[in-house]
Chain A
Amino acid sequence: MSMIHTAAATRGRAHTASAISVSDVSHTYGARTAGGMLALDGINLEIGDGEFHCLLGPSGCGKSTLLYLIGGFIPVQAGVISTSAGPVTAPGPDRSIVFQNFALFPWKTVKDNVLYGLKKAGFAAAEREQRAQRYIDMVHLTGFENAYPSQLSGGMQQRAAIARTLAVDPGILLMDEPFGALDAQTRRVMQEELRTIWRDSRKTVVFVTHDVQEAVFLADRISIMSARPGRIQHVIDVDLPKDRGEEILENRAFIGLSEHIWRLVREQAVAATRGAH
């Protein structure tokens, strides 16, 4: 089991610069009222440049909250989150996000959805067209450029959302259980595609999931979060080959690591259920 390292939460990878640095971040929902709920408690996390990082934990552990804080969608109450561009205070095109429920603009066609981000990013008209088409082709939605989101299946909508986000070429890609709403087969295909896209583009990815296998399949490193209030319990390096396909699911190292992580997550899930009663 030498490939399993449980590192201290704050320790970054030695050979890469930090793309995202989270220090002493806590978050309370309803902080202004008496019955505030502590969602995140003293989070410290360094995510390296070009790293694929998974936040893994039971439902309600605050992993989405942490992602929204990194995205700048909710204001940081305590602690500091910074990227290479400085402290995070608002959403920005350097940190693009794919939401669990796609969040496409339903009144725009697939192509116009992709063009929207490109326009905001200031690309020239000709280049916008070109890039939009390139990324639509990349997610295999060629032929559906003029379809509206409501005409597409869930898997296709999510691919459109991914194309829209990747087209603006964000340095950091935030993903909030993006495949949660998909059926098992589509999900597997999307995971492989995402892994390929990431390998080719070398973006920093922060990927939220509660699915252990998904996390092990995708990630370089996995942060296992505790039940509420969310804390980072373990940070685990995934020492598996860079090229991962269907066959890796049979790999003994993959299975061993998945089981190890499953036990760690289970402790938290059990704690969460106890805490709820």
Chain B
Amino acid sequence: MMNMAQARPLADARKSPVQKAPAPRPARSISPQVVDIGVQVAVVVVLAGIWEFGARFGALNPFLLPPLSMVLVRIWEDLIAGTVPVDLGLTLYRALTGFAIGAVIGIPVGILMARSAVVRWFFDPLVSIGFPMPKIAFLPIFILWFDIYDTSKIIMVAFSCFFPIVAATYAGCSSLDKWPIWSARCFGAKERELLWEVYLPMAMPQILTGLQVALPVGMITTIVTEMLMGGRGVGGAMIMAGRFADSVGVFAGIVQIILLGFVVVKSVELIRRRILIWHPESRR
């Protein structure tokens, strides 16, 4: 603490010397974050209550909108029967594998587009055409090429994740601030080292944004391919339930998708905060 005290007189007098990471707040006052989360949970609970009681007291035909409690009971039964873990697991596996392939290809392509004119000439028109196109239109082709099992589904997901990831990485890497690059070169960094040591960390916020856009796209694509192709997985199970006029089964699928999507998206947000701990956005 001695040293801290010595440093203080020299610190910039106008501003507080350092904006400390959020300190533990005193227990008596409720932090705004807790209030925020509380309100959001309350909104969900109220909507769930309206659903439950609206369906239960005859406002709606229970076949068209079965009460939430029935849906939850169904999920519980399927959980015990073992179909929920299998379907959810398969859906998650397809979504994450496809997403990972899209990222592993998309990030390097985006970097190369920013670094090399030849790569940019080749990929720029492809990305421009491909980004706004409904990627799911390629599904029949992928089924033709890669059969009807996991491979075609995963490739479909990778294909749809590729575009937002490439676009974000390219944008992030082509607008880099030159000063940190000059600093690194001044300290003797080689061109190859700059990629890992400067370009990637600097472009990381935008790359992560691309990944965060791509992940829900990948989840949507997974469910849709499962619905179109049938078989196991949440999408396939929902289509099967629909064919048997099992509306509770369909809603059970919807609730599972909502929960899965929520967990996945929140996890990625947490990972982002961990990676971007240095960024001012992490201290908001």
Contact = CB atoms under 8 A, between A and B. Distances in A.
Interface stretch (B3-11, B63-71, B89-97, B155-163): B3-11
Contact of B187 (A99, A148, A168): A168
Contacts of A189: 10
14 contacts: A91-B188, A92-B186, A99-B182, A106-B202, A121-B187, A140-B7, A150-B278, A151-B19, A151-B20, A153-B11, A153-B14, A154-B12, A164-B183, A189-B10
B185 A142 contact: no
Contacts of A116: 184, 187, 197
B12 A71 contact: no
Contact of B204 (A92, A107, A142): A107
B259 interface: no
Main secondary structure of the interface of A (DSSP, over half): loop
A108 B278 contact: yes
Among A95, A99, A107: residue with most chain B CB under 10 A? A107
Contacts of A97: 182-183, 186
B182 A73 contact: yes
A91 B185 contact: yes
B280 to A, nearest CB: 5
B188 A121 contact: yes
Interface of A: 71, 73, 90-93, 95-97, 99, 101-109, 116-117, 120-121, 137, 140-144, 147-156, 164, 168, 182-183, 185-186, 189
A95 B4 contact: no
Given A106-B279, A150-B280, 13 more contacts: A92-B186, A93-B186, A93-B187, A99-B183, A103-B179, A105-B198, A121-B188, A140-B7, A142-B4, A151-B18, A152-B17, A153-B12, A186-B13
Interface in B168-215: 179-180, 182-189, 197-198, 201-202, 204
B189 A120 contact: yes
Given A91-B182, A137-B3, A117 B187 contact: yes
Contact of B180 (A92, A95, A103, A183): A103
B133 interface: no
Given A107-B278, A142-B7, A156 B182 contact: no
Contacts of B45: none
B277 interface: yes
Given A73-B185, A97-B182, A140-B10, A152 B278 contact: no
B25 interface: no
A92 B189 CA distance: 9
B243 interface: no
A71 B186 contact: yes
A185 B13 contact: yes
A152 B18 contact: yes
Rank and list the top 4 A-B pairs by shortest CB-CB distance, nearest first: A103-B179, A142-B3, A153-B12, A155-B12
Nearest to A102: B179
B15 interface: yes
B279 A156 contact: no
Contact of B11 (A91, A104, A156, A168): A156
B199 to A, nearest CB: 12
Given A140-B7, A147-B18, A152-B18, A183 B186 contact: no
Contacts of B189: 120
Contacts of A96: 186-187
A144 B12 contact: no
Contacts of A148: 277-278
A153 B144 CA distance: 60
A105 B187 contact: no
A104 B21 CA distance: 20
Interface in B249-284: 277-280, 283
B18 A120 contact: no
Contacts of A103: 179-180, 182-183
A36 B239 CA distance: 66
B187 A150 contact: no
Nearest to B4: A143
Given A91-B185, A156-B12, A104 B278 contact: no
A263 B283 CA distance: 48
Contacts of B19: 151
A182 B12 CA distance: 9
A91 B190 CA distance: 11
